Chain A
Amino acid sequence: MIKLLTIDDSRTIRRVISGIGAMLGFEVLEAENGAEGLAVLGEHVHEIGLVLLDWNMPGMNGLEVLKSAKANPRIRHIPVMMVTTEGERDYIIQAIQAGAVHYQTKPFSQEEMATRILEAMGMGGA
């Protein structure tokens, strides 16, 4: 089964994303900070189909996690979607330039997030 990984310091958001992932038929792994997220990525590198990454977290922020993941040849192929309250253009450009495939701002509806997940995994409709 393809797995998703949500990296977010908010257990509320992790729980919301886990619910949406389960609804789509994915198992969802959770990490509450960047270091833990990178460790889970390394451990499940062949199973994870998408990472949903928060921006503002204690310790490594999401952009640092993204850059670190993209600098690692073992995990750089795994697509990353930012899921964040930061909706300014500068943030979006930075994330895309660093290798994010998608950018979703909070708040989001379940339908919106489900669509974004499928799109980011190349499973969206025509």
Chain B
Amino acid sequence: MTEHEQMQEQIRAGLLEGLIQTVIQVFETMAWSRITYQGEQPRKHFVLASQTCGLIGIRGARDGLVGVALDRHLGLEIVSRITGLPVPNIELEDLADGIAELANMICGGMKAKAGIHGLDLTPPLAVIGQDATVHWKTAHPVRELTFMLDRDIIRVLVSI
């Protein structure tokens, strides 16, 4: 492994560790939800197939993508907990903004925890839909990190 490759591997490992810590922190502090990390698995493709997804691109010292995916009912519950709005009062715009902001805080925290200079995040993108499957081409291998909130699964796809 060359020195450059070693440095890139260190950056990647730091970002992954920061990502796991931040996902837990964001759900706990903003949504009063205790989630547990279940582990990671390699994935062939970066596919967000849940009903509510937030996505952020990473540019600079390391390029990549991070996506957060959860079922609609859980997305509504989390946005409700963050904003204080009752679930029936949450409109589509509230849900989309809430999921986008969730992804934004997770990636911002990941970047800060990893302590890597020269990383820029793209504005967050939310995808909300019953039958949406969103597929991105990525430059790096894809991993799926799984978290549990009670019986619900939160999937974080990462390619960095």
Chain A residues with a Cβ under 8 A of chain B:
10-13, 15-16, 19, 56, 58, 84-88, 90, 105-109, 112
Query: B26: CB under 8 A from chain A?
Result: yes
Q: In the bound complex, do residue A11 and residue B93 qualify as a contact, i.e. CB atoms below 8 Å apart? A: yes
Q: A-B pairs with the 6 shortest C-beta distances? A: A85-B108, A87-B112, A12-B101, A107-B29, A15-B83, A10-B101
Query: B84: CB under 8 A from chain A?
Result: yes
Q: Please, which residues of chain B bring their CB within 8 A of the CB of A90?
A: 117
Q: For A55, give the chain B residue with the smallest CB separation.
A: B108
Give the complex CA separation of A4 and B97 in angstroms.
Answer: 22
Determine how close the nearest CB of chain A comes to the CB of B3; give it in whole angstroms: 24
A-B pairs with beta carbons under 8 Å apart, 17 shown:
A10-B97, A10-B101, A12-B83, A12-B97, A16-B30, A16-B84, A19-B83, A56-B121, A85-B105, A85-B108, A85-B112, A90-B117, A105-B108, A106-B30, A106-B108, A106-B109, A107-B30
Q: Please, which residues of chain B bring their CB within 8 A of the CB of A11?
A: 93-94, 97
The residues in B between 102 and 134 inclusive whose CB is less than 8 angstroms from any CB of A are 104-105, 107-109, 111-112, 115, 117, 121, 123
Q: In the bound complex, do residue A88 and residue B111 qualify as a contact, i.e. CB atoms below 8 Å apart? A: yes
The residues in B between 43 and 99 inclusive whose CB is less than 8 angstroms from any CB of A are 79, 82-85, 93-94, 97-98
Q: Please, which residues of chain A bring their CB within 8 A of the CB of B82?
A: 12, 16
Q: Please, which residues of chain A bring their CB within 8 A of the CB of B94?
A: 11-12
Q: Please, which residues of chain A bring their CB within 8 A of the CB of B101?
A: 10, 12-13
If the complex has contacts A11-B94, A13-B101, are A87 and B83 also in contact, measured as CB distance less than 8 A? no
Q: Please, which residues of chain A bring their CB within 8 A of the CB of B30?
A: 16, 106-109
Q: In the bound complex, do residue A107 and residue B93 qualify as a contact, i.e. CB atoms below 8 Å apart? A: no
Give the complex CA separation of A11 and B112 in angstroms.
Answer: 23
Q: In the bound complex, do residue A107 and residue B83 qualify as a contact, i.e. CB atoms below 8 Å apart? A: no
Give the complex CA separation of A106 and B29 in angstroms.
Answer: 9
Q: Please, which residues of chain A bring their CB within 8 A of the CB of B121?
A: 56, 85
Give the complex CA separation of A107 and B28 in angstroms.
Answer: 9
Determine how close the nearest CB of chain A comes to the CB of B147; give it in whole angstroms: 15
If the complex has contacts A12-B82, A12-B98, A105-B112, are A85 and B104 also in contact, measured as CB distance less than 8 A? yes
